Structure 1
Amino acid sequence: MISSYFNEWLDEYNDYMRLYTLFGDEYYLEQAGEALAGLKALVLRAERHKNILRKIMSDKVHVY
């Protein structure tokens, strides 16, 4: 499920970059930057979630 979110964000980024390349409008470049920032936030959140799950599934006691 998470991978579909990555694909959507990447598609949006690529679409805006293609529009920027074709038309040179700064608006498209700004939107591409926002899509990239959203993708980075999603990746960071997924990494944190993965670390939390790893700690939950571990037999060790972890300090948070």
Structure 2
Amino acid sequence: MGADDKMRNKGQEIRGRAKKATGDATGNEQWQAEGRVEQFKSNLKQAAEKVKDAFRNRS
């Protein structure tokens, strides 16, 4: 995965944080949940990238 994908994943994490924070501030439980889901997805993608990079660097 290239730098573009890594930036896209980080952007998704930041959007998730912002959505969750907005949900916290307004008491909107749906936004809180959606923000947590976006953060979780982004973290999974980033972890998978780290594994791929580790295997790529081993060779």
Structure 1 length normalisation: TM-score? Answer: 0.69
1:53 paired with 2:38, answer no
Which sections of structure 1, spanning at least 5 residues, go unmatched? 57-64
Q: Percent identity?
A: 4
* Structure ID, larger Rg: 1
Cα-Cα RMSD: 1.6
Q: 2:26 aligns with which of 7, 23, 27?
A: 23
Question: Where do 4+ consecutive residues of structure 1 move more than 3 Å?
Answer: none
The answer for the alignment partner of 1:43 in structure 2 is: 46
> Alignment length, in residue pairs?
56
1:12 paired with 2:10, answer no
User: Which one scores higher on RCO, CA 8 angstroms, separation ≥ 6?
Assistant: 2
- Post-superposition offset of 1:31: 0.3
Which sections of structure 2, spanning at least 5 residues, go unmatched? none
Structure whose residues are more often helix by fraction: 2
